[in-house]
Structure 1
Amino acid sequence: MPDRAQQPIFNNDEIDLTELLRSLFQQKYLILAIACLVTLGACAYAFLATPHYQVQSVLRPVDRGSLDELNGTGVYELTPAEALGRVGAGLSSYENRLKFFRENQQLFTGLAEPGRSLEQVFEEFNRSAFTMLQVDPKKPNSLSEFVGVSLTYPRGVDGVAVVNGLVASVLEDERARIATDLKVLIANRLFALEQKIEAARASYEASKQAQIAGLLEQDALRRAQLQDELQALRSELKTRRENRIKSLDEAMQIAESLGIRKPTTPSAMADAQRQGQVVRTEVNSREIPLYFMGVDALKAERQALSERRSDDFSEPRIAEIEKELALLSRNRQVEVLEQRKNEDLYLKDLAQWREEAAQLKGIKFDTSTLQLVRLDQLALEPLRAVKPKKALVIGLGGVGGLMLGVFAALLRNLLRPRQTDKP
């Protein structure tokens, strides 16, 4: 019998879907067992894990009228947007949060861990729990500006008290900071006004002294000029007197040589000397020579001039000079300037500065009642925890368990040895 031709034997590595489904169905108890175990683990986590809750507080700008009294002081200017920005910066400040944490540790008792400092505990909590709420910068046309803070916290932390307390603490700190700034600004303004007043006083005193010095200098100059003029006049008068005496001496010699003892005139001498003695005097609009006064008159005048002690009476200008010198001995304007009692009355703008200082000193603004922001949403006790989300965790656990069970069944099916058909 002839050998039958050998037929090649092929291994079928293709997956038979029907056989795969049949295999999974046969291992349904394994899949269900794994799914139940995973679901039970998810349920244990959902019910045993520490629940976390979330609260938030939202702040919005106040009306401009709420800040009108502060802005009305004329010292401090604050817009609603600036006030909201300052409060938002305070809420996001790590320093403010740490300060509140230290002052209210009873609100964070659930966070305490042995071997860790307060700062370390707060650092981890601050990094994971706080979230700032603000307008999206990508949407500049938002209907209203706002800032807020959101807190996600575990059981054992009073989140509502933390958020509301933090907001109240930041508002109080901002009010105190505004009060301090207001006091500093008022003090600086008052100090600047005092400096202006002192500078004005110093300037006035310097200008007054300069004015007095100028007046005294003018008087001294005028006095020196008058004294020089007086000395020159007296010297001139003395020279005139000496010249007159010389003229009288010369006239006396002529009169003695002519034998004129008594005052006479050329015509009278002509009548007295008709017989052969003729004296001709030609007068061409000139005074009669002195020697016609006669020796006696000339001697008398010369003696009077020699015995004269002062020539001041002969010059009216000397009396005027002495009058001016007497007036210059006392400057009444200088005396009035030196006798001023309240020199502040003469300071320019002093009344305006004092009025401004009085207004600044009269500012009594109570910042404790200042409304910086409008509390749009107050933190309230949450109705449910935000994590873990039980339904989601259990649902994911069930789905994950089924998938894990199917994967285990497939893996078991692949690792099971196959049976081959024999001829």
Structure 2
Amino acid sequence: MSAPERHQTHRAESDEIDLRDIALAIYAGWKWIAISILACVAAGSAYAFIADPQYSTDIAYIPAPEGLRALESMPGSYESLSVFEEFNKRLSSYNNFKSFYDQDPGYFTSIKKENELPEIEPRSFFTKNIKLTSPSDDSDSSRTIAINYSNSLEGPTLLNDYFQWTEKNHINDLADRADRAVDRIVDQNRATMDAHLKSQGEDTEARITRLREEDQIRIAELEDELQAVKQSIVSSREERIRILENAEQIALRLGIEKPTTPRDLGRQSSENDVVYAEINSQDGIPLYFMGTEALSAERVVIESNLEEEVKTAEVRNIEQQLQQLKENQTINALLRRESLSPFSVQHNELRQQNAILAAKNISEEEIDVASVSHWAYQPGSPDSPRIRLIVSLSLILGAMIGIFLLLAARFFASVKNHREKVA
């Protein structure tokens, strides 16, 4: 076999990996592997000892529909899910956390452990350490707010206080919102009540004006009617005078001076009997049988009292109506009204509504936004560093580093021997 062929065969054999050699090399170099493992475990243990433990805890809560029953009677919309979402937005708002941070400057100092915690920057702390989570299932309305914190801070106390402070402020805002809604409706009702009173006053004035106009028209009509009745009485008297004059002339011609009767007057000729029959056929005994003296006396009296007023039943009735119209009690009653509110139905309904609204008093103790499933608590072990995990990884990493270094040393030794043989 030629030299090139032997060289190629030897190179091919050297490129093959012999697991037995590797195992033997690892066995032979176990001390180095052990040293690597001990070094990694020592480094991991030192890190676990030096590193500040980090904890996490959370609060789980759900909506509390029963806590909003007191608001159902108040004006406005207070749906449970809507109020609950508003509360979640508050919890996840940095501005809300900043207000919580600013409300008591000494609060964060009081929850530090032995003042080991440096000054907290609110925005950075809130962004990095507080998270609000929502379920992936839309039908699940529960929520969780969690906090990550170091061992130098009382994280559960901080999270619980922040949750309770936010809920209290939200409840205060709900109560204030209800009170403002009541005040707004009451003010609107008062403005409407004033408008109704103004309208009622205008209606009353218009009614008085109409009544006065109607009374004036009726008075004019009655006065005309009264004048007509009086004129009718005068006309009747004038007609009576004319009748008396005619009867008087007849009595004068018949020579009747004293009142008499046809029987007393005596029998006349047959021609006179016809005349008497015609006269007697009228209403009762003819007037001229009264005689000229009686007829003349009656005529003189009527003529002397021709224009004198006579209180007949009709005249008295008309004058009574005129007196009532001149003293219209409806107008007088309307003018005597000191307040128009009792006579406005709309005004009284709104006043009653305002009285009912004013009687509604919502206290903060009656309102509840969220029902807590569990509060934040101090966990039994930190989230990091995890000593068991660090030690396990240190063992694995140390073994891997030791084996790698051992194999690397063996490889470089093999390369060096190969070069010496070739040379």
Normalised TM-score (structure 2): 0.68
Q: Of 193, 202, 206, which residue of structure 1 is paired with 2:198?
A: 202
Over 3 Å counting, the alpha-carbon distance change for 1:364 and 1:6 in structure 2 is: closer
Q: Of 340, 345, 354, which residue of structure 1 is paired with 2:342?
A: 345
Amino acid at match of 2:99: K
Question: Which residue is 1:9 aligned to?
Answer: 7
Cα drift, residue 161 of structure 1 = 1.1
Report percent identity of matched pairs.
Answer: 17
Cα drift, residue 60 of structure 1 = 3.2
Q: Of 367, 372, 381, which residue of structure 2 is paired with 1:384?
A: 381
Over 3 Å counting, the alpha-carbon distance change for 1:164 and 1:32 in structure 2 is: same
Cα drift, residue 329 of structure 1 = 2.8
Question: Which residue is 1:290 aligned to?
Answer: none
Question: Is the 1:131–1:149 contact (alpha carbons within 8 Å) kept by the matching residues of 2?
Answer: yes
Following the alignment from structure 2 to structure 1, what is the Cα–Cα distance between the partners of residues 179 and 333?
43
Q: For each residue in 1:153-177, what CA deviation from the matched residue of structure 2 results, as whole angstroms up to 9, or x when unmatched?
A: 0121111210221122122212322
Cα drift, residue 192 of structure 1 = 3.2
Q: Of 168, 172, 176, which residue of structure 1 is paired with 2:172?
A: 176
Cα drift, residue 130 of structure 1 = 1.2
Following the alignment from structure 1 to structure 2, what is the Cα–Cα distance between the partners of residues 131 and 57?
11
| Structure 1 residue 44 corresponds to structure 2 residue 40 | no
Aligned counterparts, 1:389-408, within 5 A: 389-408=386-405
Following the alignment from structure 2 to structure 1, what is the Cα–Cα distance between the partners of residues 45 and 133?
33
Following the alignment from structure 2 to structure 1, what is the Cα–Cα distance between the partners of residues 4 and 397?
50
3-state SS in 2 of match to 1:173? helix
Following the alignment from structure 2 to structure 1, what is the Cα–Cα distance between the partners of residues 384 and 168?
33
Cα drift, residue 354 of structure 1 = 4.0
Which of 154-163 and 339-348 deviates more? 339-348
Question: Is the 1:88–1:148 contact (alpha carbons within 8 Å) kept by the matching residues of 2?
Answer: no
Q: Of 146, 154, 160, which residue of structure 2 is paired with 1:158?
A: 154
Question: Is the 1:153–1:159 contact (alpha carbons within 8 Å) kept by the matching residues of 2?
Answer: yes
Question: Is the 1:237–1:311 contact (alpha carbons within 8 Å) kept by the matching residues of 2?
Answer: no
| Structure 1 residue 148 corresponds to structure 2 residue 147 | no
Cα drift, residue 24 of structure 1 = 4.7
Question: Which residue is 1:98 aligned to?
Answer: 98
Q: For each residue in 1:209-263, what CA deviation from the matched residue of structure 2 results, as whole angstroms up to 9, or x when unmatched?
A: 121111112223344556678899999999xxxxxxxxxxxxxxxxxxxxxxxxx
Over 3 Å counting, the alpha-carbon distance change for 1:231 and 1:85 in structure 2 is: same
Amino acid at match of 1:157: L
Question: Which residue is 1:125 aligned to?
Answer: 125
Question: Is the 1:24–1:406 contact (alpha carbons within 8 Å) kept by the matching residues of 2?
Answer: no
3-state SS in 1 of match to 2:58? strand
3-state SS in 2 of match to 1:375? strand
Cα drift, residue 194 of structure 1 = 2.5
Cα drift, residue 387 of structure 1 = 0.7
Following the alignment from structure 1 to structure 2, what is the Cα–Cα distance between the partners of residues 396 and 123?
35
3-state SS in 1 of match to 2:147? strand
Q: For each residue in 1:19-58, what CA deviation from the matched residue of structure 2 results, as whole angstroms up to 9, or x when unmatched?
A: 7616853555444444433332222111111101122222
Cα drift, residue 411 of structure 1 = 4.3
Following the alignment from structure 1 to structure 2, what is the Cα–Cα distance between the partners of residues 128 and 160?
16
Aligned counterparts, 1:246-325, within 5 A: 325=322
Over 3 Å counting, the alpha-carbon distance change for 1:13 and 1:182 in structure 2 is: farther
Amino acid at match of 2:38: C
Equivalent residues, number: 405
Amino acid at match of 1:171: E
Question: Which residue is 2:59 aligned to?
Answer: 57
Following the alignment from structure 1 to structure 2, what is the Cα–Cα distance between the partners of residues 222 and 369?
67
- CA-based RMSD of the aligned residues comes to 5.6
Following the alignment from structure 1 to structure 2, what is the Cα–Cα distance between the partners of residues 319 and 169?
87
Over 3 Å counting, the alpha-carbon distance change for 1:151 and 1:375 in structure 2 is: same
| Structure 1 residue 74 corresponds to structure 2 residue 73 | yes
Following the alignment from structure 1 to structure 2, what is the Cα–Cα distance between the partners of residues 72 and 7?
99
Amino acid at match of 2:129: A
| Structure 1 residue 21 corresponds to structure 2 residue 22 | yes
Question: Which residue is 1:88 aligned to?
Answer: 88
3-state SS in 1 of match to 2:15? coil
Over 3 Å counting, the alpha-carbon distance change for 1:356 and 1:73 in structure 2 is: farther
Cα drift, residue 396 of structure 1 = 1.8
Normalised TM-score (structure 1): 0.68
Question: Is the 2:54–2:382 contact (alpha carbons within 8 Å) kept by the matching residues of 1?
Answer: yes
Following the alignment from structure 1 to structure 2, what is the Cα–Cα distance between the partners of residues 385 and 4?
70
Question: Which residue is 1:373 aligned to?
Answer: 370
Structure 2 unmatched runs, 5+: 235-303
Amino acid at match of 1:381: Q
Question: Is the 1:129–1:151 contact (alpha carbons within 8 Å) kept by the matching residues of 2?
Answer: yes
Following the alignment from structure 1 to structure 2, what is the Cα–Cα distance between the partners of residues 6 and 362?
113
Over 3 Å counting, the alpha-carbon distance change for 1:403 and 1:310 in structure 2 is: farther
Amino acid at match of 1:91: L
3-state SS in 2 of match to 1:9? helix
Cα drift, residue 385 of structure 1 = 0.8
Structure 1 unmatched runs, 5+: 239-306
Question: Which residue is 1:112 aligned to?
Answer: 118
Following the alignment from structure 2 to structure 1, what is the Cα–Cα distance between the partners of residues 226 and 361?
71
Cα drift, residue 138 of structure 1 = 2.8
